[in-house]
Structures are given as structure tokens and as C-alpha cells.
Chain A
Amino acid sequence: MAWETVIGLEVHVQLATASKLFSGSSTRFGAEPNTQANIFDLALPGTLPVLNGEALRMAVRFGLAIGAEIGRTSVFDRKNYFYPDLPKGYQTSQLEFPVVGKGSLVIALEDGSTRTIGITRAHMEEDAGKSLHEEFTKETGIDLNRAGTPLLEIVSEPELRTAKEAVAYLKKLHSLILYLGISDGNMAQGSMRCDANVSVRQVGDTEFGTRTEIKNINSFRFVEKAITIEAQRQIEILEDGGRIIQETRLYDSDKNETRSMRSKEVANDYRYFREPDLLPVVIDEAFIEEIRASLPELPDVKALRFQSDYSLSEYDATVLAADRDTADFFEAVAKDCEDAKLSANWVMGDLQAALNKLEISITASTVSSAALAGLIKRIKDNTISSKIAKTVFEAMLNGEGTADEIIAAKGLKQVTDTGAIEKIIDSVLANSQAQVEQYRSGQEKVFGYFVGQVMKESRGKANPAQVNEILKRKLGN
């Protein structure tokens, strides 16, 4: 039997506003417990919510970026449940009239194809506080710093079919929110959290199977593992003739398994009703147009432009465009050195590897875009070979100066004088009679040995193309 997994994701994105969704408290992460909770966040009697206009603008930015209908009149509702980290006893959210309606996101798959994934809606809501169980015995600590932090809940259609697609969708979403500047997207700190609705069915079925919801998965890797393991669990149950129970499950990354949450926690009747303390949010055309005009060039459009302006492959263009800072860096390098392909290779290759190793972002790179362009220019004009360029790049990372300074200081300028190269080759061949015999008797692999020797003699500075050409000529005769 061939099974197909059906996945829909609910992603909570913490909006990067300075203050909370309905109060003036700071949203800064990591402060001492309860130092960022004012009288409204503590739900003292008589206090009232006032909508943070910046959160609304960010939500609309997102809506426009996914081509969604913007709710001209969006309405807040109360979602009622008791929990100590929910001070009001209800969460203010949006049920029937969300700020963002239907939109879509294009995801790139590993085989190079793309898929368009529908987004059902996105709505604003406030986050809860945190219950702290570890630090206390027989008691629970409550930290309300996070209570009231603005979230945008983004709900996808059940159109994802593999765990890898789900990750691709999440990564695309992540890239987009960073582009838009509406969240820091930090998954480890909970700025982006994911709930996955997972069901399985046989290929060809048109009905969906019974789904389970995996709550609060906090990394790309865990999303892939959790969905994979949950789909497997469901398939095993069904193949054994069992039935899937619709429920909420938790992913345990240590054991790589999903577990049922107590049914009590799930069986909530939230008794949604309109939030009477807030008026409906009415958005007019001018507001939308003003935000539309302020949108940056988005990754999809940028990738297309990179292909046409710089003749990059679709893959290179997509990878570079996925991160706004990387894209900006690449463009600066390419414009400066006038070689887009080399620029792309260096930014995606050596530079990215170095940044990963140093665990710093491209904006904190010690090698500036101008410096990298300076290096590439020396490759282009044959001052150095690509191999020597790596040595120069290492030195640049260490802060030893510009490419030109390092080349001069270390005497790395490439030897392109044919006569000089011929001299070295003659000397190498004279000292390698046995290998010359081997080569001439048909063992062409030995050719690499000669190249190596020549490069060694020249301390890497001989122009490799010239070395090849001269060697071939001399050995051929």
C-alpha cells in the first residue's frame, strides 16, 4: 500500500514590536521575571487594552507579501480558558474576521521544482506568560514578561505532502518574515513556533484521514523528524487495522516520538466571543497602499531578477535571495567586481562556510563586500589563482589586510611568464625520469604528479592553465 502524508502548519510568529499587543510594556527577551508586566498585563481590574498600531502594520505587511486579501474590518475575540500564565483568563485573538485572509507561498523543492502552498489566514493574538516548574518545589512560578507579546498566527492549507515540504515551507516563511522585518524569527527563543496537523491516507484517496496536531515544535530539524515519526506511527496503526484518534500530541526530541497530551488539556470549550473592549479594526485603502509602497523587494522577485540581471542559475539565485542580508552582500560584491558568477560562488561558498564556522551573520562579516570584490578582481586579472585566492581569503578573515596588501606582503603574485614556467617544468621533468617513462607508456594519471611538482616548485604561484599547456606539449613530444 502506498501512503501519502497530509500536513497543514500553524505557525506562531512573534512580531518584533517594541511594546506588547495591547499594552506599553517592553517585549525584550530575557529580562528578570515580571519586570516587563504592567497593570494591564497583570490583568488588574479596570485596565483596558489598546491595540499596538505597529503590530497591525506588521500583520498587514505580511498579508501583502503573501498576496492575501487584507481584512478591511478585522475583529478581536476572547478565547476563554483558565491557566495561571494567562492573567485575564482569556486570550485576545481573532476568530471570524482575521486581519489577513487567503494568500499563498511558493516553496522550492530539492529536485529543483516549485510548489505553491495556500495560506488560509493569519491573525493577531497575544501570547501567554510562562509557568516555571523547575525552580520551585511544590509550587509553580509565573513569569508574565511574555504575556501580551504580539503574535501572528499563520495557518496553511493542508497542502503539504512530505516532512521535507513542510520544512521548505517553514524556511520560506522564515525567510519572508526576516525580509519584512516583522520578527527576529529566532526559533530557539520561541519567536517562531510551529504546530503541525498531520494525517495519512492512501495515494489516490480524496478524503483526508483523521489528523493529529503536534504542538510547539521549535526547530526546522524537529519539524521534519516529528512529522516523519508521526506519519509512521499513524501508518502502522492503520496497517494493523486500527483507528487514529483526533488529539493533540507532543514531540519528544530526546526519544524521537510523539506522545498524546492528556485529553483534559485538549477538551477545552474556548467560548469565543467578540472582545467588547476593542472596536473592530477598520483598514482603508490608503493605509494598505502606504504599507505596500514600503515593502522591500521580496525573495521570489529578487531571485528572478538575479537570474536575469546576473545570469545566475535558478538554484544560486534562490539560495542567495533567501536571506536579505546575503542578497544585499552578494549584489554589492557583484557590482563592484563585475563578475556575478564568481561573486555568487564566493558568497555561497567560502564566505558562508567561514561565517558558519564563526557562528556570525553576514552583517558581522570581517571581510566586507568591497574587500571580497577586491579579492575576486585579482582572480579575474590572473594576479592570483583560485587556489591562492583561498589562502589570501584566510588571511583577510584574520584581518591581515586587503587582498592586494596580502598578495604583496606574501609574494603570492601568480607567475605567468612562460619562460619562467618552462624552466621549472624542465627541471621537474629532468628530476622525474621514472614518472616520465610511466606517462609515456600510457599511465596518464601521472600527469597530476607533474602538475603538483611544478606548483610545489613555484610555491603555488605558477598559472595552472599555462602549467597544463606547457606540460602537455613537452610530454607529448
Chain B
Amino acid sequence: MLNQGLTEISRALTRGDYTSAELTAAYLERIEQHNSGLNAYITITGEQALSQANAADALRASGNAGPFTGVPLAHKDIFCTTGIRTSCGSRMLDNFIAPYNATVVEKFNQAGAVMLGKTNMDEFAMGSSNETSWYGPVRNPWNRELVPGGSSGGSAAAVAAHLCPAATATDTGGSIRQPASFCGLTGIKPTYGRVSRWGMIAFASSLDQAGVLTRSAEDAALMMNVMSGFDPKDSTSVELPVPDYLADIDKPLQGLRIGLPSQHFAEGLGKDVELQIRAALAEFEKMGATLKEISLDNSHLSVSAYYVIAPAEASANLSRYDGVRYGYRCNNPVDLEDLYKRSRAEGFGAEVKRRIMVGTYALSAGYYDAYYKKAQQIRRLIKEDFMRAFAEVDVIMGPTSPHTAFALGSKTKDPVKMYLEDIYTIAVNLAGLPGMSIPAGMVDGLPVGLQIVGRDFDETRLLNIAHRFQQATDWHTRTPGV
């Protein structure tokens, strides 16, 4: 039963193949066995999970079960959970226990889901390899010498290693899609505003968006049905009705127009990865889709613009961690300035401090126009590139990452090299568009991810496309066999 995805689990629970308590206990046992080697979870909530499972079983017995009743999953440790530590992968919040649930967590609780634990992540979601976590790096279940991708590396490793059937995650510049690609999973970053950010610890508010990592598009749709929707507590969430993402998931792809940005098939893309992506695209042609080369003229500026805007917002978002009210506080501060300086110097890791400094610099008097303002202008141009493209095509496809998972430690010394990890994914966040990554091939025994980008709020179509592909191929069923 641990090999089943959400959809199968939901059906099995309905049929009575096993109870939620049995399933939950099995997952907790597997986590017990394998988590230490992967470091996918920061916090395991066994006791609470079993009591949620028992409650779910009782609810099912009384005939009031929904599709999610008793279904176990894990939450990225960026989502606040009442009474359970939410660390955001940082020493700064190692002692932080929120008295509230994130809206995403609340919605899954309301749906009857069982939380197995909180997954590891890059510190404050800043990283592309899950190596910046205060709790240590996460290892890729396909090869433990490799990174799982980041920042949602813990969620990705946990799902890939079957330490949970699915997990929530967040994506600010590629933090769902790149780990999905590296771990052979289905990941979706919805349109900005589709899912509430309330209770989700902010990195870069205008870019952050919650999504999921699952074993199939169908599972992702099931989760999207639960977590999407307007939240009066998040002013940036959008007041649009939420469709049933499963309703159109089987629609044929005949006539689908797929755009291929020339910039994503240019120098820098690994040849073997490109071959796999081309093969996947041919699969879509077989299903009746047409391919068209397009240009995203300003895509070469996206990483630069992102690394001004995201750190700028982060520099302000992380100002609240000052050692005054909660979180890490240095020992014996002599005065206010000492309290600030040492609490922040000791509480934050190197990458977080680097970004706070970059962001502070970009917003400073005399530099604002050259950096922040310019970056915002580029952001608008990037959005316009996409709008132009979507006048001609329905979706845009390409590789999620230029290569497969890389070795632990191989890029930690060179931040710019690490930042270039998100070269194909970052523009999607700048434009606020929905994006997915699905398994689309293997290179040297490692998964390759195909990125699918859609129009604003066109998640239905993305999930439909991903699902049809998964009906025709079996890449998403490959597992690392931990």
C-alpha cells in the first residue's frame, strides 16, 4: 500500500482495503527506517498522525468520509502548524511553535487528511539543492550522493522515497518544479494568487506560491481541489471560483498548440536531457498536439531580475526575526544593537544573510533605480513575452532543469552557479503563471523533468496535459526503490 498514490489510497480507504490507522502506521514505520538516511523530515508527528487517522476512520465508519478523509501527507516546514514546530529550515525558528495553522494546512485538516510530519527545506526556501537547511542537507533517493533539488527538497525526497504519498511545497523561483524534476515527481506551482499564502512563511511575497509534489497529475489535481481558493486573510489571493481539477483531466489533447521557447533549448542544456525532452514532445505530437518554436526575448534577464526582486522582498520579510519576540535570541546581549546583530548573525545561515544583504543593497538610496526599479521593469517585459507567446500557443514546454540532479556540495561554493539552476523556472514566477514539472525520461538512471507553463489560472489544462502524458507513458511510475 505504500506504493500507492493519493488517488489509489483514497479508493482503497473507501473500499475498506485497509484503514487510515493501518496506512499511517505503515508510513510512520517506513519513515522510522529510512528518514535518517535521507533527512527528508525535520519533524515527524507520529502521535498526532495516528490520532488524526483514528478520527478519520471513525468519520468513515459513520459514513461522512470525503475523498481526503484519512489520506496521509506531509507538509513542507514552511507552513505554520498549530502546536508543532515550524522551523522554515532555520536555526532562527528552531524553537518556533505557531499558535495557528496556515490556510493550506487548515484546508487539508478540514478535508480529513493525516499529517505525517514537516519536511526539510532550504533555509527560508532560499536554495536550489536543499543544502542550506539548518537541519542538514536532504539526499536524493535516486542516489544519496546527489541533491534532491530545492528548496522543497524534503517534500520531494519524502514522496520519491515513499515516506509519504504526497506533500505540500512552495515555489518562489522553481522550488517545486526543480525538485520534482530531480526526484522524478509531478509538481505544480499554481498561478500566483490561486492558493492562500496565509501562514506560509514569506520569502519573496510577490513570487511565493504554494503547490504540491505528487506521484501523478491526478494526485496533484486531487490536492489542488482541496487547497485552492480565495482566502480573505490573504489580500493577494484571487477571488475566482475553483474548478474541479479532475473534471477535465481526461480531455484529449487533439489540437493542443505547444510553444517551445528557443531560449530553453539553447546552449547550456545538456544534450542527453534535450533528447529525452524531444522524445516527450514527440509523444504529445502523437496525441494530436502541434509544436511551434517561440521566443521569450527577455528570458536571459530573468535570473538577474529575480535575484534583485526576491532578495529585496526577503530583506524586509526577514526583518521581523530580530530576537525580540520569538525565535532565536543570542546569549547575554549587552544592548539593543548587540541583540539584533548577534541574534541575526547566529540565527541565519550564510545564504540567507547573503540574500538579505543583496536585497538591502538593491533597495538602498542611490541604488534603487539601478537595481530594484530596473528589475521591476524587466519583470513587466518578461510577463509581456509570455502574453505574446500565449496569443499563439496554449502552453509552453521545455526542460525544467538543464541537467539531472547534481552532486552534494558541487555548487555550494559558487552562488551564481547555484542561482543559474533556476534558469528555466524563474521567469514563470516573475510572470505569476502556473507551471508544472512532470517526469519525462531518464538519463543515466536519473529522472528528467518536463516543464509545462500555462496561462493565468489555466491549471486545469496543465493537469489535463500532464495526465494524458502519464496515461501514455510510465516515467512517473519509476521509483528509486529505496
A contact residues around B340 at 8 Å (CB)? 82
Interface string of B99-128 (1 = CB under 8 A from A): 110100000000000000000000000000
Contact A276 B80 (CB under 8 A): no
- With a cutoff of 8 Å between Cβ atoms, the chain B residues found around residue A278 in the complex are 235-236
Query: B201 interface residue, CB < 8 Å from A?
Result: yes
Query: Please, which residues of chain A bring their CB within 8 A of the CB of B470?
Result: none
- B236-A273 in contact (CB<8A): no
Given contacts A47-B198, A87-B325, contact A279 B235 (CB under 8 A): yes
Residues 52-104 (chain A) with a chain B CB within 8 angstroms: 78, 80, 82, 84, 87-90
In the assembled complex, the Cα of A49 lies from the Cα of B198 at a distance in Å of 10
- Taken together as a complex, chains A and B put the C-alpha atoms of A80 and B326 apart, in Å, by 20
A84–B336 contact, CB under 8 A? yes
Structural contact, B235 and A273, CB atoms closer than 8 A:
no
Is B286 on the interface with A (CB-CB < 8 A)?
A: no
A46 near B319: Cβ-Cβ < 8 Å: no
Q: Does B199 contact A (CB under 8 A)?
A: yes
Which range holds the interface residue count of chain B?
Answer: 35 or more
Which listed residue (A39, A88, A142, A273) contacts B363, Cβ 8 A?
Answer: A273
Shortest distance from the beta carbon of B313 to any chain A beta carbon, whole Å: 6
How far is A200 from B20 in the complex, measured between Cα atoms in Å? 79
Looking at the assembled complex, report how far the CB atom of A109 sits from the nearest CB atom of chain B, in whole angstroms.
40
Q: Is B205 in contact with chain A by the CB < 8 A criterion?
A: yes
Q: Does B298 contact A (CB under 8 A)?
A: no
Is the CB of B9 closer than 8 A to any CB of chain A?
Answer: no
Report whether B316 and A46 are in contact in the complex, using a CB–CB cutoff of 8 Å.
Answer: no
Answer yes or no: B406 CB below 8 A from chain A CBs: no
What are the residues of chain B within 8 A of A48 when measuring CB–CB?
197-198, 233-236
Question: When the two chains form their complex, are residues A45 and B232 in contact, meaning their CB atoms are under 8 A apart?
Answer: no
**A455 smallest CB distance to B (angstroms):** 73
**Which of B198, B200, B202, B363 is close to A271, meaning CB atoms less than 8 Å apart?**
B363
Answer yes or no: B98 CB below 8 A from chain A CBs: yes
**Whole-angstrom distance between the Cβ of B13 and the nearest chain A Cβ:** 31
Q: With contacts A47-B199, A84-B336, A276-B205 known, is A42 near B316, CB below 8 A?
A: no
Whether B233 lies near A50 (C-beta < 8 A) is yes
Q: How many residues of A contact B (CB 8 A)?
A: 29
Q: Is A269 an interface residue (CB 8 A)?
A: yes
Which chain B residue has the least Cβ–Cβ distance from A83? B336
B337-360: contact bitstring with A at CB < 8 Å (1 yes, 0 no)? 000100000000000000000001
Task: Report whether B99 and A46 are in contact in the complex, using a CB–CB cutoff of 8 Å.
Answer: no
- Give which listed residue, A42, A45, A87, contacts B93 with CB less than 8 A: A45
Q: Residue A389 at the B interface, CB < 8 A?
A: no
Counting chain A CB atoms within 10 Å of each CB, which of B197, B201, B232, B320 scores highest?
B320
CB within 8 Å for A49 and B322 given contacts A89-B316, A269-B364, A276-B206: no
Q: Evaluate contact between A87 and B233: CB separation under 8 angstroms.
A: no
Report the Cα distance A398→B315, complex, angstroms: 65
**Alpha-carbon separation in the docked complex, A278 to B236 (Å):** 6
Chain A residues near B86 (CB-CB < 8 A): 45-46
Whether B176 is near chain A, meaning CB under 8 Å from some CB there, is: no
Q: How far is the CA of A45 from the CA of B372 in the complex (A)?
A: 24
B443 contacts chain A at the CB level, 8 A cutoff: no
CB-defined contacts of A88 to chain B, threshold 8 Å: 316, 319-320
Chain A residues within 8 Å of B98, by CB? 44-46
A51 part of interface (Cβ distance < 8 Å):
yes
A277 within 8 A of B: yes
B416 to chain A: which residues have CB within 8 Å? Answer: none
Given A43-B320, A276-B236, 4 new contacts (CB under 8 A): A80-B319, A80-B363, A84-B336, A273-B368
Residues of B near any A CB (own CB < 8 A): 79-80, 86, 88, 93, 96, 98-100, 102, 197-202, 204-206, 232-236, 312-313, 315-316, 318-320, 322, 324-326, 336, 340, 360, 363-365, 368, 372
Task: Sample 14 A-B pairs with CB under 8 A, ordered by A number.
Answer: A46-B98, A46-B102, A46-B198, A48-B234, A84-B322, A87-B325, A89-B320, A269-B364, A271-B315, A271-B316, A273-B312, A273-B313, A273-B368, A276-B206
